[in-house]
Amino acid sequence: MPSDDEPVDEGKRNFLKVMVAVSVIAAAGGAVKAVLQNVKTPVAGITSFPTMQLYWVPPNSTSSIPVPLKTADFPTNSPSIFVFDYPLQGEPNFLLKLADASGKPIKIESTEVTIPATGAKFMSAPGVGPDQNIVASSAICEHLGCVPPIIHYYTPGTPIPGHPGLVNTYKNGLIHCNCHGSTYDPLHGFAVVTGPTAKPLPNVVLEWDPVSDTLYVKSMVGPTIYGKPSDLSGGTPFPVGTTTTTVTDLGTPSS
Ligand code: FES
């Protein structure tokens, strides 16, 4: 042990200081790592379904700025794919205004729909608008998650790949997924018509304001969106204060 009279070895002292500091940092780092390993990555989401007004850029508009969508301007039985995000960003939904082959609007009533995968039942979202023929659903296939344009609405009388008999049986149009052949009935809660899907498309609950002729999205019913335990989590919420979602025309698919 050095006596008080011995000269202090500054180099040795500094070396020891550095080693102590390194040990402290290493220990702290290990503790932080342990804490981080025990903290689950937070799942982004929202606590309830937001109410959002549907906006769009009307066909032939001279402006690219979206405005409230009026049902009178929205095309009936359009072969074009119209989608909007809800309840989180990047989660597409179909918007459909349905009519029979002659163009006569089809009033769509709420009906009991079975989820074949579980046997559970739910009441479908009814049609809204002046003719009660406007409906919406998730546009993500409940089989393995294919999205538009490979899944889309086939207008009345349009042949459906792999299902020639369906045109006559379901003469008022169907949603079909070309990935593996699942088909859904938009007139009856987007129920399963053909597999391999074992779940209907989640229904979007719409509300029509007759004064302004505009549409609002309120919530969803039926199974959850494909691959999600909850419609409200596991995605990217809209920025706080967002009250509108924009309907986009993806165009008409070739098949
Ligand atoms: S993902 Fe749609 S049928 Fe398979």
Specify the CATH number for the domain of residue 211.
Answer: 2.102.10.10
Structure confidence at residue 182 (pLDDT): 98
Q: What is the pLDDT of residue 254?
A: 84
> What would the pLDDT profile of 60-92 be if each residue is shown by its tens digit?
899 999 999 999 999 999 999 999 999 999 999
Residue 197 C-alpha to ligand 1 middle, in angstroms? Answer: 7
Q: Is residue 61 part of a domain?
A: yes
Burial class (CB in 10 A: 0-12, 13-18, 19+), 99: middle
Strand 112-114 to 121-123 pairing = antiparallel
- Indicate whether residue 146 lines ligand 1 (CB < 6 A): yes
Contact 98, 108 (CB under 8 A): yes
pLDDT at 21: 46
- Number of domains making up the chain: 2
| Domain with 98 in it | 52-249
| In the predicted structure, residue 230 carries a pLDDT above the cut 50 | yes
Q: What is the DSSP letter of 151?
A: E
For residue 171, pLDDT beyond 60: yes
Judge if 26 and 152 occupy the same domain: no
Q: Which atom of ligand 1 is nearest to the CA of 145?
A: 1
Q: Residue 113: helix, strand or coil by DSSP?
A: strand
Two tokens at 168? 């006559």
- Answer yes or no: do 101 and 225 share one domain: yes
Report pLDDT for 63. Answer: 95
> Do residues 101 and 211 share a domain?
yes
**Is residue 255, in this structure, part of any structural domain at all?**
no
Residue 1 domain-assigned (yes or no): no
- Look at residue 10 in the predicted model and tell me its pLDDT: 52
Cβ atoms 136, 202 nearer than 8 A: no
- 184 close to 137: Cβ distance less than 8 angstroms: yes
Task: For residue 182, report the distance from its CA to the centre of ligand 1, in Å.
Answer: 6
| Å from CA of 244 to ligand 1 middle | 29
The answer as to whether 3 is a domain residue is: no
**146 in Cβ contact with 175 (< 8 Å):** no
Ligand 1 binding pocket includes 180 (Cβ within 6 Å): yes
Q: What integer pLDDT is reported at residue 17 of this predicted model?
A: 53
Cβ(179) – ligand 1 distance below 6 Å: yes
- Indicate whether 62 and 142 sit together in one domain: yes
pLDDT at 39 over 60: no
- Output the pLDDT for position 168: 87
Higher-confidence residue of 19 and 100: namely 100
Q: Are residues 216 and 245 in the same domain?
A: yes
How far from 178 is each of 46, 97, 140, CA to CA, in Å? Answer: 32, 22, 12
Is the CB of 163 within 6 Å of ligand 1? Answer: no
Same domain as 232, residue 146: yes
Task: Supply the pLDDT for residue 255.
Answer: 81
Name the DSSP letter for residue 162: T
Q: How much distance in Å is there from the Cα of 243 to the middle of ligand 1?
A: 32
Q: Give, in order, the Cα–Cα distances in Å from 104 to each of 165, 193, 194.
A: 23, 23, 26
Q: Which of 154, 122, 137 is nearest to 226 (CA)?
A: 137
**Cα–Cα dist 211/56, whole Å:** 18
- Which carries the bigger pLDDT value, residue 14 or residue 229? 229
**Nearest atom (ligand 1) to Cα of 182:** 3
pLDDT score recorded for residue 20: 46
* Co-location of 16 and 134 in the same domain: no
* Joined tokens for residue 149: 């344009």
Relative to the CA of 197, which ligand 1 atom is closest? 3
Cα 39 to ligand 1 centre (Å): 35
To which H or E segment does residue 188 belong? none
Q: What percent of the chain has pLDDT over 90?
A: 79
Cβ atoms of 217 and 138 closer than 8 Å: no
The proportion of the chain whose per-residue pLDDT surpasses 70, expressed as a percent, equals: 83
For residue 182 and ligand 1, the question of a CB distance below 6 A is answered with yes
238 inside domain: yes
Q: Does 58 lie in the same domain as 15?
A: no
For atom 1 of ligand 1, the residue with the nearest CA is: 144
Pairwise CA distance, residues 92 & 249, whole Å? 12
pLDDT score of 43: 60
Q: How far apart are the C-alpha atoms of 37 and 229, rounded to whole Å?
A: 23
At residue 45, the pLDDT reads 86
Same domain as 167, residue 124: yes
- Does the CB atom of residue 141 touch ligand 1 within 6 A? yes
How much distance in Å is there from the Cα of 186 to the middle of ligand 1?
16
- For the record, the structure tokens of 144 come out as 């393995």
3-state secondary structure of 68: strand
| Ligand 1 atom having least distance to the Cα of 141 | 2
Whether 193 is covered by a domain: the verdict is yes
Asked whether residue 45 is domain-assigned, the answer is no
